[in-house]
Structure 1
Amino acid sequence: MDNPIVKILRFLIFFPICFIAMAIVNWGLGHLLIWFIGLSKFWFIVVIIFLGGTIWGLFKMLASLLVMLAAYISPIKWLGTLTISILALINGGILGYNLWTLEEDYTGWEIFGAVVATLLVLELTFALIYGAAAASEEHY
C-alpha cells in the first residue's frame, strides 16, 4: 500500500463515501422516526417498552458499522477518524437544530418528542464517532 497513486485514489474515494454514509444514516434515522411517529399510541408504547432498545441498538450498530467501513478506506487512519468525527458532530448539530425549528410553538407531546429525538440524535452522533474510532484501531 505504499503506492502513491493508490493513496491518492483512496483519498479521492474516501470523502464522497463519508458523505454517502452520513446520507444513508440520515435516511435510516428519518424512516425510523417516521415509523415510530406513525404508530398508534398503544403500539408506540408497546414497541418502545418491549422492542425500542433492540430496534434502536440495531440501528446504532448498523450505522456505526457503516461509518467504520467508510473509515477503513482512508489511507491515514487518524485522518479518517477525525474527518468522520467532525462530519458526525456537524450532522448531529444540524439535525438537532432542525428538530427544534420545525414548528414555531411546541406543546406538551411535541416537546417530549423533540427532547427524545434530540437525545437519540446525540446518542447516534456518539455511536458514529465510536465507529470511526474503532476503525483506526489496529488489531492483530
Structure 2
Amino acid sequence: MSLARRPRPWPDRDSAPWWEAVRRHELLLQRCGGCGVPRFPARAICNRCRSRESAWVPAMGTGRVYSWIVNHQVFLPGMADEVPFAVLMVRLDDADDVFMYGNLVAAGVDDLVPGLPVEAVFVDATGDDGKGFTLVQWRPL
C-alpha cells in the first residue's frame, strides 16, 4: 500500500511537539518537571506527582518487544496488500514503564518473539493532498 493512503496522525495539544520531532526524525519522551519520570504518550499532568511542568528529552530509540498483534483483517481497503501485519508494543530501554506502538518492518511476523530487541525507524510519506507526515515503526536489531 502506498503510505499516502494510510491513516495519518492527528496531533493534539499534548502530542504536537512529539509529532514535530518525529517529522525531524527525532524520538522524544516527555519528562515530568516535578518528579522526573518519563512518560508517553504526552499528557498535561503527571500521573505520579500531578505536576503540570514537563520537558521533552531525547529517547534512545531502542527497546524490546513486549507484546504484539497480527492483523489479518482488512479494515481499510488501502491496506489490503499489507495484511497480515504486526503492530508492536515496545518497552523502551529508556524506562521500564514506557511503551510505544508501531508496525514491524524489515522482518516477518514469524520472526517475533517476546523480548526481541528493536529500534525505531522513521518512515516519511506524502499524502494524496501533498502534505508530508512521518511514522515511527520498529525493526529488529
TM-score (norm 2): 0.24
Structure scoring higher RCO (CA < 8 A, sep ≥ 6) equals 1
The structure carrying a bigger helix percent of its residues is 1
Work out which of the two has the higher radius of gyration on C-alpha atoms and give 1 or 2.
1
